[in-house]
Structure 1
Amino acid sequence: MGIRQLHDRLLRRVEPLTYDQLRRLASERAIADAVRAGRIVRVLPDAYASSVHAESWVLRMQAALLWAGPSTVAAGSSALAAWGALAPPPNVSISVPWETRPRGPAWVSVRRHVHMPERCWPPRRIPTVPPPLAVIQAHGELPSSRRAEAVYAPVREGIVTVAEIAETLAAMPRARGRRELERRLVAAEAGAESYLEEEAGTRVLRGVPFAHLLRQHWVHVDGTSYRLDTFDPATLTAFEFDGADAHSGPAARQRDAARDARIASVGILTVRFTYADVTDRPEWCRTIALGVLATRSQHPEVQMDVPPVADPPEKAW
């Protein structure tokens, strides 16, 4: 088999091969020529692949597992990526037995364990640490701007529960960012499903005036079910917190408007706050929310004990 034939064969395989496996496909000379020509690259020691796929996260993850030994599993954000909860990270994170000391390139992060965690198998068939442990590891290793999603995404996807994460965390003597993670788990247990909802719960809808609100409440209108971020049954008011990605653009705004109109047909008013509103001026959002509840509670059929609210501050935008 020549260089071209060997490369064409590897092009159809997004997985690493050992040198012995390559030798079953081609001669030593053909392999050496393919490597010199840049058609085949050594991703890690004794892990070869087509140069076309050399930057693939899936291939790099498999190469790390092959290189570090049979007990190796994906860890942290890499494990959550294998479960489909997070986008593949720029680096690969693995867990290995304590006595193993693999030294690889900077894009491989190695965690050593005296007692190896249980091996789990997500649909991608990449072995990982258990999802609760993966969440804790990822939360500690990711930059602050991405930590929240390491908790909320796998919980939203049903990969792990808040209780399972909390139980695993309680059994760990040390965990990077423990206090932040514990606060985040409290927010998730209260119903937050994203960083924006976490911020809304701690900075906007906080305290006694909002304690009665229902989080992640489902309503059924005209044959369609809608989930409300926060709902007040006494005043039929829904508060929605719109992330920058899911609610931007004309199509998203039209979809939100149609949803709000359908829900309004049964008497529920939807009040929307943007990501910038919640993160940049939470007290303004709080003032608006209190004012809406106070006004709607004045309906003769509804009685609520909501403190008086001053006019929201004027601001030029």
Structure 2
Amino acid sequence: MNATLEALLARHGGLLTRALAAQVVPDWVLRQARDAGQLLRVLPAVYVDGRLAQASQLTHPGGSSSLARLPPELRHRAALAYGDGLAALGGPTALHAWGVRGQPDGEPVHLDVPAGSGLRSRPNLVLHHRRGFCPAPPHALNRRGVPVVRLERALVDAWPLLPAVGRPAPLIRAVNDGLTTPARVRAALAGAPRLTRRAELRALLDRLAAGCRSPLEVWGHDHVFTGPAMPRLRRQFRVRIEGRTMYFDVYAERERVDFELDGATAHGEPGQREIDLRRDALLATCGILVVRFAHRRLVREPNRVRAEVLAILTSRRSGR
């Protein structure tokens, strides 16, 4: 490869544009490098070091587009280079940048760009044209060196684009990690009145605002712990005992009963089981009864679990 071109690639992390290359080498040098396979054109006027693309072909074989064959971060940078300073990572791609959902191979890169920018979608690249958009505050932030739309907007925009089975997870994780709040996401949702599946997103935000912090807790809220005869229960109730801070999944404060919703994986492991037993014993010394429901029972027998919850609460009130 031409030494000047190779130095330019090294300085820019294996990525360059035609405009950048034209500042230091004539067009024939760029064309020659491309013909020799030293450069790979992944988008109009956007090139990457061919060696990086070859290394990624083991996981992106055959018929996928040139952009799809790149590692995720290089793929995102190439898309932004095509955006030429007008774009920010958006939707599902922004969730990847925010660390709340890994974008799987084969899923297109999503960019937000201003309406009227003249840019258009390409294979494995989806552009969302937004009126008044600018890849800077308040619409976007710089995260790890690249412009990314604000997390709340990304969560809203990505909602109808994600597979149904994994749709709630990024929002739940973002709230659990303290990156946002249900109220802030709800404010972003207000700016998208025509969003597909809007009612489902509002329902999940209601559950998170009520204190649910996992898909299983959302299920329990909807199918077990609300409705006729069920008293007001606290979600993720915080207590501190003997220097330890604990959170109760669902807590009946008057009856002093902590209902724990055990997931299908972690709570079945021997080490976690021992931790749970010690925690439950400590709470028993304080007069708090711990009742655990396994994932399987909650999902398959919600009516029976609900009846047991009501019976336990009645028993505690009567002192039996």
Query: TM tier, shorter chain?
Result: 0.7 to 0.9
Pick which of 32-41 and 139-148 moved more.
32-41
Take 2:33 and 2:160, find their aligned partners in 1: how far apart are those partners? 41
Question: Partner residue of 1:278?
Answer: 298
Take 2:170 and 2:226, find their aligned partners in 1: how far apart are those partners? 24
Question: Partner residue of 1:16?
Answer: 15
Confirm whether residue 228 of structure 1 aligns to residue 248 of structure 2. yes
Deviation at 1:61, TM superposition (A): 1.3
Matches for 1:193-272 after TM superposition, within 5 Å: 193-272=213-292
Confirm whether residue 170 of structure 1 aligns to residue 190 of structure 2. yes
Matches for 1:1-317 after TM superposition, within 5 Å: 6=6, 10=10, 16-21=15-20, 35=34, 38=37, 40-49=39-48, 50-51=52-53, 52=55, 54-89=69-104, 90-116=107-133, 118-121=138-141, 123-299=143-319
Take 1:218 and 1:187, find their aligned partners in 2: how far apart are those partners? 18
Deviation at 1:26, TM superposition (A): 8.0
Q: Name the % identity.
A: 29
In 2 relative to 1, CA 265–29 (structure 1 residues): closer, same or farther, beyond 3 Å? farther
Q: Residues 148 and 194 of structure 1 are in contact (CA less than 8 Å); yes or no, is this contact kept in structure 2?
A: no
Take 1:24 and 1:115, find their aligned partners in 2: how far apart are those partners? 32
Take 1:37 and 1:227, find their aligned partners in 2: how far apart are those partners? 61
Take 2:268 and 2:38, find their aligned partners in 1: how far apart are those partners? 43
What secondary structure is seen at the aligned counterpart in 1 of 2:250?
Answer: strand
RMSD of aligned residue pairs (Cα, Å):
3.0
Pick which of 172-181 and 22-31 moved more.
22-31
What secondary structure is seen at the aligned counterpart in 1 of 2:157?
Answer: helix
Query: In structure 1, what residue type is equivalent to 2:91?
Result: G
Query: In structure 2, what residue type is equivalent to 1:113?
Result: R
Q: Residues 79 and 131 of structure 1 are in contact (CA less than 8 Å); yes or no, is this contact kept in structure 2?
A: yes
Q: Residues 79 and 128 of structure 1 are in contact (CA less than 8 Å); yes or no, is this contact kept in structure 2?
A: yes
Query: In structure 2, what residue type is equivalent to 1:166?
Result: R
Take 1:193 and 1:221, find their aligned partners in 2: how far apart are those partners? 22
Take 1:30 and 1:264, find their aligned partners in 2: how far apart are those partners? 76
Take 1:260 and 1:122, find their aligned partners in 2: how far apart are those partners? 45
Take 2:35 and 2:278, find their aligned partners in 1: how far apart are those partners? 60
Question: Partner residue of 1:310?
Answer: none
Deviation at 1:250, TM superposition (A): 2.9
1:99-134 deviation line (CA, Å, top 9, x unaligned): 134344442222111221633325423312222221
Deviation at 1:137, TM superposition (A): 0.7
Deviation at 1:33, TM superposition (A): 6.5
Moved >4 Å (runs of 4+)? 12-15, 20-40
Pick which of 132-141 and 96-105 moved more.
96-105
Query: In structure 2, what residue type is equivalent to 1:293?
Result: L
Deviation at 1:200, TM superposition (A): 0.8
Question: Partner residue of 2:60?
Answer: none
What secondary structure is seen at the aligned counterpart in 1 of 2:78?
Answer: helix
Query: In structure 2, what residue type is equivalent to 1:225?
Result: T
Q: How many residues align?
A: 298
Deviation at 1:221, TM superposition (A): 2.1
1:254-295 deviation line (CA, Å, top 9, x unaligned): 333333333333232222223333333221221222222223
Structure 2 gap ranges (5+): 57-68
In 2 relative to 1, CA 76–248 (structure 1 residues): closer, same or farther, beyond 3 Å? farther
Deviation at 1:248, TM superposition (A): 4.4
Q: Residues 80 and 154 of structure 1 are in contact (CA less than 8 Å); yes or no, is this contact kept in structure 2?
A: no
Q: Residues 6 and 25 of structure 1 are in contact (CA less than 8 Å); yes or no, is this contact kept in structure 2?
A: no
In 2 relative to 1, CA 81–15 (structure 1 residues): closer, same or farther, beyond 3 Å? farther
Deviation at 1:216, TM superposition (A): 0.8
In 2 relative to 1, CA 69–6 (structure 1 residues): closer, same or farther, beyond 3 Å? closer
Query: In structure 2, what residue type is equivalent to 1:247?
Result: H
Deviation at 1:38, TM superposition (A): 4.9
In 2 relative to 1, CA 265–103 (structure 1 residues): closer, same or farther, beyond 3 Å? same
